[in-house]
Structure 1
Amino acid sequence: MAEHLFDEFETVTSKQWKQQIQYELKGADYNDTLVWESPEGIKVKPFYHNDEDTKKGHIQTPNHSFSILQNIFVHDVKKSNQRALDSLNRGAESIRFTIENETVDLAELMQNLPLGNTVYYFNLPFLSVDFVSKINAYQAQSHAKIIIQIDPIGQLAHDGNWFENLDKDFEKLNHLASNTASQAPFLSISSGIYQNAGANMVQQLGYTLAHVNEYFNRIPTLRQPITIEVAVGTNYFFEIAKLRALRLLFATLAQEYDHTFDCHIIATPTKRNKTLYDYNVNMLRTTTECMSAILGGADAVANLPYDSLYHKDNEFGDRIARNQLLVLKHESYFDKVNNPADGAYYIETLTLQLAEKALALFKDIEAHGGFITQLIEGSIQKKINESAAKEQELFDSGKEILLGTNKYPNKNDKMKHDLELYPFVKQNPRKTLIIPIIEKRLAEKTEQERLAQEE
């Protein structure tokens, strides 16, 4: 018989905890002193208790291990193939190829790569029925596990234009969805753009849900798993709750369309808090962000190299990013516990609060014409810009801290001659259907000022 070690102690109620805290505060107001409010309007208490904070029950996440995902941009097919082989030999467990055009020879790209349980993602920044058919034919022949990532709405949000136009893009998607017998999943939601542009967590979840709903509405024969790619920020427990809330919201929406598949979540650390100066701190940021992604139940985690802002893809940066995940998985044993956040009253309460607020935002978007309509009208962009401006103000005033940038900066740190990539928002004036959602880092203005002062 199991021994209950604490049965001899009396149960302490939430009310008793509050009374003791109030006594310790010596008359100071409990709410003013210890309760703080997040940018999402969630009031965070100093303690959570099972007699009032878990009334709605536990929230389950899938019981499986996460996959270490390596990103590879395909410029040279042979080199990309060799890099994929090398990455898998060094600890990567799945590969994502970003393919820029339809001329890529799939057999050459996949030559000698292990199949079996290895998942290969094909991220396509274009929409071609013929190329997707080639991928499906290769999958049928090789029995490879393939997930395709295509997102016309994400293309509209990021670029300001559809691949072609709304009608033709969805005509192609409906054609792809019409025969699912032997097809790889093809639909993806690029929701990381909302976080990287400065949206708060409720907005990220609400916009992602509305983004998904447009596809459910416009592709009635959709009967395949949907991939959702999220960006994970630095608010550790909130980010765990965000991913859990995303699964909860997706399942609720999918049920309304008789869609029986769970969403497949790819998580990547945010770019928004990454810095050019004191760049090694980026490794600390990405480590905690990957931890949140894993504990939140991501299916695959693609880490962000510490030098990705200013260096081209390189072996050292990739190896460090991959090793961070290997340490978390094989030395910190993050893959050994199923649903690790289960029973954590704080996280479960945050999950429900984020889900409820995001669902209310989603309903408001649908009541005002839906996500695409609000993108075209500019309402989504306006709300994100307002949220981003509030966060930027906190950073500029020093209330939101990035170590090495607006707190304890190293004045001797020089970066001007180490830039292989332009690390700031690129200005490219052109005609677009909508105002695109612009991803911008918090430290950009500060960094530009510092670069200008370097000799």
Structure 2
Amino acid sequence: MKNKLFEDFQPTNKEEWIAQAIKDLKGKSFDEMLVSQSLEGIQIAPFYTQEDLLDQPSLAGFHHKVNPKPLISGIAPRVWSNATRIESKSEKEGNAIILNALQNGSDAIILILNGEENLSILLKDVQPAYIQIFLEPTSSPTKVLANFKSWLRQENHDYEQVYGGVLWDGFIKRLTEDLDKEEVIQISRKLLDFGYDLPNFKTITIDFSHYHNAGANAVQELTFGFSALIDLIDDLSVDQQMVFDKLILKTAVGSDYFMEIAKVKVIRILTQRLAALFQVNQKAEDIFIFSSTSYWTKSGVDIQTNMLRNTTEAMSAILGGCNALEVLRHDCVNNDVTEFSLRMARNISNILKEESYLDQVLDPFAGSYFLEKLTFSIFEKVKDKMVSTESSGGWWNSVNQNLIQEEVKKTRIERQKMVLVGKQVKVGVNKYLDSSSKTAQIEISINEESASQLKTSRESFLVETQKSSVI
């Protein structure tokens, strides 16, 4: 370049920028006016420079390590699967939904199974070698996996060409069904055994998303998920390399755009660091993160706005580094499944890939001063909180004392009250209300929750309950 224009400008450090901001504020406090604080207690500055990263370790070792390099020439560098949840009353109806989804943009399916299904009908014409299949058991997960393997044998599918996993977390079952620890460990061990001859099919899941959808903030979500993983590894008494090889980390991604991007990044970093503590060599790009958009953020008042929430949440998940993405139906607060809502959910991932080209850049936020600082801040807070949880006896002991349940419920109520009084703006709920919103048609259900349980809820629940009582 002949004309080096930047030589005409003197370099400016952060202190000088802050001094200029204070001058423009005309004596008002810089911190009070421009520095905010997240729900997790993290200070968010109005701008960041390279100086902000001098007091923390470099995260360069995790840059561009979000998925393995595609083996097929011509495939875009950023790869994630577009997962569709299959909800049907019969195998034949389910098969039609599956084929329609796979022919219109999905390349992964989530099957809700009890182990009694005739998979020859449900999965007719489905080729596992070209998609990912995730099993979500409603009863015995070992029975569901055994039935799936039986179908694979009957159809002569190559076990090495089966991709996906079992989305079942026994620790979360303890929070909803009061499952015994020994039973959880026994089932998890059987799932590892059953999945041994399926090298690309994962059978252990740590479900962070449940804490998120129950109202936890990002630090609580990651702390309790990783604390459960530590308890699981300690009690399984199996080859720890196998556990990490077979591991799915399932998270839900909310509407706090940058915070959620950083959260997904922290999952990858902490998983590798945790693996190293167990003397397991785990490549960052081989860690499998399954993300879904948030049920917690979905509104039952102005349902159409949920499509916008789904879009930004899906972007956060992709930019954070998820490997599989489930976009929830925008009308998931209702029980009725419609073709329109399924298509809209499926198309969000497709549009972000095919029209927004998010698959063309492997890790666009790598090196961002703000994201690097935010990621490290979350990492440090989660690490400190995990130490505190371990000092209390670990995940299971904390749950038996209702410590985790009480903490998340307290955060949940605080967040729901913020929406109720308008302190937290939620479009279509407490701001820019749609007068034509059909609130009366939304089912307001209150799940009974004992002190030892932790169930999912939604951010706008108190507002919806209030509106429902008025109607």
Pairwise same-fold verdict (TM > 0.5): yes
Larger deviation: 252-261 or 76-85? 252-261
Provide the rounded CA distance (Å) in 1 between the counterparts of 2:122 and 2:358. 32
Is the counterpart of residue 220 in structure 1 residue 221 in structure 2? no
CA distance in 1, matches of 2:149, 2:66: 27
Q: Residue in 1 aligned with 2:166?
A: 148
**Where is the helix percentage greater, Structure 1 or Structure 2?**
2
* C-alpha separation in 2, matches of 1:341 and 1:42: 19
Q: CA separation of 1:186/1:2 partners in 2, compared to 1, >3 Å: closer, same or farther?
A: farther
Q: Which amino acid aligns with 1:316?
A: F
- Over 3 Å counting, the alpha-carbon distance change for 1:320 and 1:27 in structure 2 is same
* 3-state secondary structure, aligned to 1:116: helix
Distance 1:453 1:11, change over 3 A: same
Shift of 1:96: 0.9
Letter in 2 for 1:170: I
Question: CA shift at 1:186, angstroms?
Answer: 0.7
Q: Is the 8 A contact 1:160 1:435 kept in 2?
A: no
Question: Equivalent residue of 2:128, what SS?
Answer: coil
Which residue matches 1:69?
Answer: 83
Paired residues of 1:273 and 1:441 also in contact (CA < 8 A): yes
TM-score, with structure 1 as normaliser: 0.91
1:48 alignment partner in structure 2: 48
One of 304, 311, 315 as aligned partner of 1:287: 311
Give the 3-state SS of the residue equivalent to 1:142 in structure 2: coil
Q: Please tell me whether the aligned partners of residues 227 and 266 of structure 1 are also in contact (alpha carbons under 8 angstroms).
A: yes
Deviation of the 1:408 alpha carbon? 2.8
Corresponding residue for residue 107 of structure 1: 120
**1:365-406 per-position Cα deviation (integer Å, ceiling 9, x unaligned):** 111111011111100011111211221232122110112221
1:28 aligns to 2:28 (yes or no) = yes
Gaps of 5+ in 2: 68-77
Question: 2-side partners of 1:67 and 1:180: how far apart?
Answer: 21
Tell me: CA distance 1:229–1:16, structure 2 relative to 1, closer, same or farther (3 Å). Answer: same
1:175 match: 190
Is the Cα–Cα contact under 8 Å of residues 439 and 467 in structure 2 kept in the other structure? no
Asked if structure 1 preserves the Cα contact closer than 8 Å seen for 2:53 and 2:373, the reply is yes
Cα deviation, residue 137, structure 1: 5.0
1:219-368 correspondence to structure 2 within 5 Å: 219-221=236-238, 222=240, 223=242, 224-261=245-282, 262-368=286-392
Q: CA 1:339–1:5 in 2, change beyond 3 Å: closer, same or farther?
A: farther
Flag the 1:7–1:124 CA change in 2: closer, same or farther, 3 A.
farther
CA contact 1:177–1:219 (8 Å) conserved in 2: no
1:438: how far off?
2.2
The answer as to whether partners of 2:444 and 2:468 remain within 8 angstroms in 1 is: no
Distance 1:194 1:104 in 2: 30
- Say if 2:35 and 2:46, in contact at 8 Å, map to a contact too: yes
User: How far 1:7 sits from its partner (Å)?
Assistant: 5.8
State how far apart, in whole Å, the 2-side matches of 1:127 and 1:228 are: 20
The CA distance in 2 between the partners of 1:322 and 1:104, in whole Å, is: 25
Counterparts in 2 of 1:134 and 1:305: CA distance versus 1, 3 Å: closer
Contact kept, 8 Å, 2:91 with 2:122, in 1: the verdict is yes
**Residue in structure 1 matching 2:178, options 157, 161, 164:** 161
C-alpha change, 1:175 and 1:444, in structure 2 (3 Å) is closer
For 1:399 and 1:13, locate their aligned partners in 2 and report how far apart those are by CA, in whole Å: 35
- The more displaced of 15-24 and 296-305 is 15-24
1:83 aligns with 2:97: yes
Out of 129, 133, 137, which is 2:146 matched to? Answer: 133
Change (3 A) 1:364 1:2: farther
Whether the aligned pair in 1 keeps the contact of 2:259 and 2:374 (CA below 8 Å) is yes
Cα deviation, residue 279, structure 1: 1.3
Q: 1:307 to 1:10 in 2, by over 3 A?
A: same
2:214 maps to amino acid: A
* Alpha-carbon distance in 2 for matches of 1:278, 1:35: 31
Q: Residues 260, 131 of structure 1: CA spacing in aligned structure 2 closer, same or farther, 3 A cutoff?
A: farther
Please list every run of 5 or more consecutive structure 1 residues that lacks an aligned counterpart in the other structure: none
Partner-residue secondary structure (3-state), 2:424: coil
Asked if the contact 1:245/1:355 (under 8 Å) is kept, the reply is yes
| CA spacing shift, 1:117–1:258, aligned 2, 3 Å | farther
131-140 or 402-411: which moved more? 131-140
Residues in 1 aligned to 2:140 and 2:129: alpha-carbon distance in whole angstroms? 28
- Is this contact kept in 1: 2:145–2:194, CA < 8 A? no
Cα displacement (A) at 1:450: 2.3
Tell me the matched-pair count.
443
Instruction: For residues 57-115 of structure 1, give each alpha carbon's deviation from its aligned partner in whole angstroms, at most 9, with x where no partner exists.
Output: 2342414322111011353112112211110111111111111x221223332221133
CA–CA separation in structure 1 for the residues paired with 2:2 and 2:287 = 37
Question: CA separation of 1:120/1:377 partners in 2, compared to 1, >3 Å: closer, same or farther?
Answer: same
In 1: Cα distance, 2:318 partner to 2:211 partner? 20
Contact preservation (8 Å) 2:52, 2:373: no
Asked if the contact 1:94/1:120 (under 8 Å) is kept, the reply is yes
